[in-house]
Amino acid sequence: MSEVALFPGSFDPITRGHLRLIERAAALFPRLIVVVSYNPAKGGFLPPEQRVALARASLAHLPTVVVARSERELLVAFARRVGARVVVRGLRDAADLR
């Protein structure tokens, strides 16, 4: 499998739950891009630069995982730009299934 996969999120901040899902996805795909999305209209707890830095530090043990930042870009546009055809997401509760 030569797929590039994306794991998008705000990661404000990155959590152990995120890390667990990213580690599992990294085992399935030869290249995983963790996309730290930022919407200036929403704000957030941490500035985007710190979110990216924390994600990179937390994922440094995974050589096939890359952390990228996306701002004001639709996920589909980002996916096309990097050649990704798979999006990995986790579910928090039943509301995520709607």
In Å, what is the CA distance from 12 to each residue of 4, 54, 58? 24, 10, 13
**pLDDT tens-digit readout, 12-67:** 999 999 999 999 999 999 999 999 998 888 878 999 999 999 999 999 999 999 99
pLDDT score for 53: 97
Give the pairing of strands 31-38 and 65-71. Answer: parallel
CA distance 78 to 3: 15
Residues 6+ apart with CB under 8 A from 90: 17, 18, 21
pTM: 0.89
Q: Choose the weakest-confidence range: 6-10, 63-67, 72-76, 90-94.
A: 90-94
